[in-house]
């Protein structure tokens, strides 16, 4: 395939210099293999690229690109460079991502250290001294709703960090839309095992302190619920495991009638009507 890759004038000599380019590719390939001619295109004034497939199984979809050129229309073409380039179907590595952007929740292991960026939008300065509080108060008339005492912490949660946490916790397994919560009749707002927390997040979340709950020790939404609620009423009578597996066993069976039948029946005569020999066979009489 021959095409014009730019507005440069078509140079037929360069576009037809396939064998010259193949020889250069085979010399440069070092045994990787040069296959069929894919095409040629103009790159600029008196500059063209010849492309060949690479037959090495480790470079499927890659192409040898040979740049040929000549100074003017009267000169012979020469080879400028030979490079192996990925084609449209080539298997190439994904775009490089910095380590700080690759790490995901749950990747942090024992002994690992994950530095928090100085400009992390989830955090804002925690004001801990009197001068800082006075300066902030003069700038923000509604300071009780817009800042938080650091109490020794250099930074505290920003509004963005708080909102992200709320969205994450609501979507978790201890959120109101989880399968456990939808199946429960009572929610955490009326559970005695709920440990309330302070601050704005306490209006929507608490901590479960029920050892028997799957959410024990975790942050739970107030409208989450489970079967271990403190006010769940027990059954009047215990249910045996057999009745759980076989409900039909739980039905009462009236055996009085069958008992009467047994009591009223005549006793079974164990003596045979005919005499038996020592081998318990009937003897003809």
Contacts of 81 (CB under 8 A, 6+ apart): 66, 67
- Predicted local confidence at residue 255, as pLDDT: 47
Averaged pLDDT for residues 233-260: 57
Angle, vertex CA 136, rays to CA 131 and CA 137, nearest 5: 100
Residue for token digits 């014009």?
Answer: 4
CB of 104 closer than 8 Å to CB of 114: no
270 or 43: which carries more pLDDT confidence?
Answer: 43
- Predicted local confidence at residue 82, as pLDDT: 95
**Distance between CA 193 and CA 206 in Å, rounded?**
10
pLDDT at 69 over 50: yes
Average pLDDT, the chain: 80
Give residue 76's pLDDT band: very low, low, confident or very high (50, 70, 90). Answer: very high
pLDDT at 68 over 50: yes
- Predicted local confidence at residue 108, as pLDDT: 86
Instruction: Identify the weakest region by mean pLDDT among 108-112, 158-162, 265-269.
Output: 265-269
pLDDT at 30 over 90: no
What are the phi and psi torsion angles at 245 (to 5°)? -75, -30
Averaged pLDDT for residues 104-111: 88
- Predicted local confidence at residue 136, as pLDDT: 47
Domains for the chain: give ranges and CATH numbers: 2-86 (3.10.450), 118-157 (no CATH), 172-221 (no CATH)
pTM: 0.50
Averaged pLDDT for residues 76-92: 91
pLDDT at 143 over 60: no
Give residue 267's pLDDT band: very low, low, confident or very high (50, 70, 90). Answer: low
pLDDT at 188 over 70: yes
Long-range residue pairs from 240-246, CB within 8 A, at least 24 positions apart, any chain? none
**Distance between CA 79 and CA 116 in Å, rounded?**
52
Averaged pLDDT for residues 50-79: 92
234 or 186: which carries more pLDDT confidence?
Answer: 186
């Amino acid at each position: 395939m021959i095409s014009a890759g730019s507005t440069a004038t078509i140079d037929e000599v360069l576009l037809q210099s396939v064998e010259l380019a193949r020889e250069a590719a085979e010399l440069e390939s070092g045994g990787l293999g040069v296959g069929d001619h894919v095409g040629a295109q103009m790159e600029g004034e008196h500059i063209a690229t010849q492309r060949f497939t690479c037959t090495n199984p480790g470079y499927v979809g890659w192409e040898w690109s040979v740049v040929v050129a000549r100074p003017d229309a009267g000169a012979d073409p020469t080879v400028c460079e030979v490079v192996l380039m990925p084609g449209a179907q080539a298997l190439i590595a994904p775009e490089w991502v910095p380590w700080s952007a690759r790490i995901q929740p749950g990747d942090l292991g024992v002994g690992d250290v994950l530095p928090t960026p100085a400009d992390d939008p989830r955090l804002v300065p925690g004001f801990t001294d009197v001068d800082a509080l006075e300066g902030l108060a003069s700038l923000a008339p509604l300071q009780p709703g817009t800042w938080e005492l650091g109490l020794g912490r250099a930074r505290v949660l920003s509004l963005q960090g708080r909102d992200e946490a709320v969205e994450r916790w609501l979507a978790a397994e201890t959120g109101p839309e989880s399968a456990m919560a939808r199946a429960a009749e009572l929610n955490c707002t009326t559970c005695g095992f709920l440990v309330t927390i302070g601050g704005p997040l306490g209006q929507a979340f608490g901590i479960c302190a029920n050892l028997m709950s799957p959410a024990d020790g975790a942050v739970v939404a107030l409208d989450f619920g489970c079967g271990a609620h403190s006010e769940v009423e027990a059954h009047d009578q215990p249910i045996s495991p057999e009745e759980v597996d076989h409900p039909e066993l739980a039905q009462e069976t009236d055996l009085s009638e069958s008992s009467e039948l047994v009591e009223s029946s005549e006793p079974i005569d164990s003596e045979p009507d005919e005499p038996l020999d020592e081998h318990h066979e009937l003897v003809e009489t």
